[in-house]
A and B are shown apart, each in its own frame.
Chain A
Amino acid sequence: MDCVVTGGNVKVLAKAIHSLSRIGDELYLEPQEDGLALRSVNSSRSAYACFLFSPLFFSRYCVYTIPLGHAFRCKMAIKCVQAVFRSLSSLEKTVEKCHIELDGEKSRLTFTLHCKHGLLKTHNLSFQDSESLQAVFDKESCANMLRAQPRLLVDTVLHFPPSLEEVSVSVSGERVWFRNHVDDEAEQSKAMLTELCLSSDEFDHFAVGAQTSITFCLKELRGLLVFAESTGLPVSVYFDEPGSPVVLSVTDSVLEVNFVLATLSDDSNLCNHNNNTKRARSPPPPDDFMTDDIDSYLIAMETSELAGPSDALAPRCPSSNHTLTTQPSVDIHRRRLERGEEEEEEEDTEDTERPPNKKVSFVVKGLAVTYTTVGINVTLTPLPLSLYSCSVPLSLFRVSLSL
């Protein structure tokens, strides 16, 4: 791979990297025929971002296929790449172009900044081979879509304190509400609640199906907004029902950015927002494990078809018993579709006690999972899980990882 970014685009590239650094610790770089893709995902797989720079973004863009037959893909610590583009203001003033090339023999990715006065700053970064990190999502099939100027969203987010973790967005025919989401039962009585109501007029595009409410992490949204505001491009928001991921996208002729964030599933939305106390609460599920994060996460990861990030963030209602206290550091990053068929047999649909919210219940027995990466075969058997049932929201998001 060999490409050159010139002029103002260097700053755009730098901002993209800074934006990605707010998602995860590693930057996945994949030069493709249709452009250079920079991606990142967070450790709990609940947020994914992808910046796709088309060849037109570059003043020179050459991608060679390596004799091995598959395209070059790598990942590296994002902090290293951030260090190359450290000071944005000086970048603008001094850097004339940035040359990125892959040295196959030495396994190095070289960033050369050509600065004023003939100064050359060369950064040699080592990388790791990686599998492709790609989220499969379908924006067009989402029931709701809003598009707004970044300024509107930045102003909205301003009303919430920087420490706020999650924000709830509710839509109806004519309006959108942004509310801070209060997680903890105990905090509810003491926490200040803020709600901002915007009318559909303020949006460039406002297409809403049924009345919905979704909750997602604000920190990751802020990462995108900083980027969008600097480019001045409108932000499009695609979403469905709670549990389904929300896709935020910024597009122009040379660049396509997609942020896919998990949303809390319906249960949590009902439990935690005071407005929703008006709605009838669904009766507590018969099994304690129903609301156990870890369980649903593990199941989601193991039945890779449904390995949705939303599941990782799923039911956060305070539940009485957690027997599993392991972190998702049964850290199962990459897996193959092994249990796909089995999972389908065991599905039953719609718990009849619950209000229709598109959940799937199934029974899972202790599973063994094979985890393969380049040159290494690892089989993991999770901690003894007794037979239990739990409910997982059906998600449109799939993380499919292939070598």
Chain B
Amino acid sequence: MKFRAKMIDVGCLNHFTRVVNTISKLTKTCILRLTPNNLYFVLSGKVASGGVGMWCELSQANFFDEYQLEGVAPDANEICLEVTPENLSRALRTSQNAKCVKIKLTKKHCPCLTLVAELPTLSSVSRVVTHDIPVDVIPRRLWHDFKEPSMPDFDVSIYLPPLKTMKNVVDRMKNLSNFLVMEANLNGEMNLKIETDLVSVTTHFKDLGNPPWGDDGSPGRSQSRDPEVMAHTRVDIRKLQQFLMGQQVNPSKAMCNIVHKRIIHLILLHEDVSLQYFIPAVA
């Protein structure tokens, strides 16, 4: 198993750091899958993570100038590691002005992802910072848990309102209730509702637009569905808030698929990164 990669572009480094920062705000530990073409940060949506699932895909060519991978076996050319994204974030944070950053899989006192940054100095010799981040190698027999999630059979798909606005609304609502209902219809309308014994609050968003899913989605469903009817799901408000808190950059596209009373599937697309987040319904 071998992994070595190198980043020399400052823009790429900043962008990668922001992605890692976002991931570190979403979860304490996650799986990092390395394949010849992509990197994935994965949370499998099991009970341990509170049912929340995450799938973040980066195309390695957009970040790294050099990328060498030798997977576990010739027919399974990938590496699966359990990492703490906060460590990675910390290591990247102070290397923002580095001339070059190398990441490799090493074995020190335990398997580690070693990040080596060469920092510019006034003298001829550069300063070298080395961070050894301990990781756990996930054996092949467990890989099936970390496969790309399939698109759920959603009832409504809608574009999200500006994330900042959503975050402000959700932050205020969190003080009042632990659960939030998200509902949307095919007319581009979305409501965020909370209801307690004392008060109920609803925020209405209009004219959001609905993504035109072609063969990907379930065209039959959406065509025959009454555009006024709302599909709704009740979720733990903290999970939604955590998702919104972590977002540092405005995505090019942000949408949400709702499976009635089952799950909320949030999709954020940036130029070279895609992030999917699944929040299950609570009773």
Contacts and interface: CB of A to CB of B under 8 A. Distances in A.
Interface stretch (B2-10, B117-125, B170-178, B186-194): B117-125
Interface stretch (B47-55, B126-134, B232-240, B254-262): B126-134
A188 interface: yes
Interface of B: 87, 90-91, 94, 108-110, 121-125, 127-134
Contact of A201 (B87, B94, B125): B125
8 contacts: A159-B129, A188-B109, A192-B131, A194-B129, A195-B130, A196-B129, A197-B127, A201-B124
B134 A274 contact: no
B125 A199 contact: yes
Given A189-B110, A274-B109, A197 B130 contact: yes
Given A158-B94, A199-B125, 8 more contacts: A191-B134, A192-B133, A192-B134, A196-B129, A196-B130, A197-B128, A201-B125, A202-B123
Nearest to B95: A159
Interface string A170-193: 000000000000000000111111
Contact of A189 (B94, B123, B134): B134
A198 interface: yes
A193 B130 CA distance: 8
Contacts of B125: 199, 201-202
A192 B91 contact: yes
A197 B108 CA distance: 18
A128 to B, nearest CB: 44
A161 interface: yes
Interface string A189-229: 11111111111011000000000000000000000000000
A182 to B, nearest CB: 10
Contacts of A161: 90
Nearest to B134: A190
A195 B129 contact: yes
A198 B121 CA distance: 10
For the complex of A and B, the 7 pairs showing the least CB-CB separation, nearest first, are A201-B123, A199-B125, A193-B132, A195-B130, A197-B128, A192-B87, A159-B94
Contacts of A194: 91, 129-132
A274 B110 CA distance: 11
Nearest to B125: A199
B38 to A, nearest CB: 25
Given A199-B123, A202-B127, A192 B132 contact: yes
Contact of A198 (B90, B109, B127): B127
Contacts of A197: 127-130
A307 B235 CA distance: 62
Given A159-B94, A192-B90, A194-B129, A202 B121 contact: yes
A158 B133 CA distance: 18
Main SS of the interface on chain B? mixed
A137 B108 CA distance: 39
Interface in A243-290: 274, 277
B114 to A, nearest CB: 9
B134 A196 contact: no
B131 A189 contact: no
Contacts of A202: 121-123, 125, 127
Nearest to A277: B109
B122 to A, nearest CB: 8
A57 B220 CA distance: 85
B101 to A, nearest CB: 13
A189 B110 CA distance: 6
Nearest to A179: B130
A193 B91 CA distance: 10
Count chain A CB atoms within 10 A of each CB in B94, B122, B124 and give the residue with the most.
B94
A195 B94 CA distance: 12
Contacts of A188: 109
B109 A196 contact: no
A194 B112 CA distance: 12
Contacts of B121: 201-202
A191 B132 CA distance: 9
Given A158-B94, A274-B108, A193 B123 contact: no
A176 to B, nearest CB: 10
Interface in A268-326: 274, 277
Nearest to B121: A202
Contact of A193 (B122, B124, B128, B131): B131
Contacts of A190: 134
A197 B125 CA distance: 10
Contacts of A192: 87, 90-91, 131-134
A72 to B, nearest CB: 47
Count chain A CB atoms within 10 A of each CB in B91, B123, B124 and give the residue with the most.
B123
A274 B108 CA distance: 8
Contacts of B130: 193-197
Contacts of B122: 202
A25 B271 CA distance: 54
A363 to B, nearest CB: 37
A139 to B, nearest CB: 26
A201 to B, nearest CB: 4
Contacts of B87: 192
A192 B83 CA distance: 11
B120 to A, nearest CB: 11
Interface in A33-92: none
A274 B91 CA distance: 19
B29 to A, nearest CB: 11
Contacts of B109: 188-189, 274, 277
B146 to A, nearest CB: 22
A33 to B, nearest CB: 42
